Structure 1
Amino acid sequence: MAPKRTRDEDSDATKSKKPRTGFRVGPENLPDGAWKRKVTKIKKNLIQKAKIKKEYAKVKAQIEAEKEKHPVVNDPMLLLDAQEEEKHHHPEHTSEDNNTNDQPAPPSPQLHPSRQAMLDNPPTPASAPTAALDGSNPNLDDPTHPDRQPRRQQRKKLRPDYYSKELSAAQKAKEAAEKRQAEIERREKERQARIADRERFRKQMAKAKAPGFKDGKRKVGRESKLLLDRVQRIVGEGK
């Protein structure tokens, strides 16, 4: 019997598989600049976080495996039995521990005589300023004491504010923008007021020019009053 022919789809599927090129954070055609550096930084941070998570998972798995091998015992009697067995199996460790316990402790470091005197006789708040005024401060005789150092060395150097110029420029730009916005709003209010005045004047003039019901004539007195008010307003605005 002839062997069964393999499918062509399998070979096509294996050929069509593309190699994995990793993940992308942003577009690949970004020019060199701030955006490309930002995308590269984000990608590096993601890779670092993934590595940390992977290492954490490994360490966690190791700790869990050690816990399974050596389970934690909460019973004090069982702990004492385990310690006794440890002593029987490893007596050299107990002898080393005893030798370390028998050794004397290292001597504590000696303090400076002036510092020891200050600790023994701490100055009271009332006597401290008087001692400074009288010149009876014993620390002034010590050339290494901070009080003997020149004032230029005692002053803390003010750290320069690197963003003060940018902050001041931003504040000035903000104030200028607020002034422009206030001016725009003021002009818009004046424009709306003028439009309302013109509309009111137009209606009043149309009403004054309309013929009367009795004689059919225009109301000249009302029309002249409106025109006089308009002239006075124009002259006042011109001044």
Structure 2
Amino acid sequence: MALKRPHTDSEMRDEEAPRKKRKGFSVGPANLPDGTYRRKTQKIKNDLIQKAKIKKAYAKVKAQEQSGSNDIYRHQEPETSSAQPASLDLHPDRQAMLDRPAPSVNAPRHSKDDTDDVSERRRRARPKRSSYSKETQMAEQRQLEAEARRMVREEKDRERRAMLKARRPDRDGRYRLGRQSKILLHKVKRLVEEGKVDR
């Protein structure tokens, strides 16, 4: 029977064996050609690396703070400089601002001269023209024309239906000439208004 290796031998082998170098992580496919998609994946990778560095630095600072290595800041000696002690007096500009009476709610914020300048500038300034003003006017004109055509079409359709109804004979087999005459009169008025028939 073969001898088994002792545990110490295997432990030594693990320590002596060189650590494998960790391969970096990849984002997206490795064979992308230079272009938009490759730049996008590189940007994502750089952002991830930056965030990881920030996290690591934050964890380091937090660990230092918790371990109490920031004693430098806690045990500072008071300054012995020749600086003047802080006074409780307000700065003269601030005091002047506080001494001024508070403006009423409805009072204008500017003086009379300021408002004159502003109103004159407004009068001189021309209203900004839209870059599509001609196009909007043309579109409105087309809409109005389409609406007028639709109204004429509906009116003609109404007349046609009324005429069909008027041409049907009544129960006795007589034509309804009174109805037909009203419809024809209405049609003639419409044609005169449109200018298709002279008066």
TM-score band, normalised by shorter chain: 0.3 to 0.5
User: If the length of structure 1 is used for normalisation, what is the TM-score?
Assistant: 0.39
User: If the length of structure 2 is used for normalisation, what is the TM-score?
Assistant: 0.45
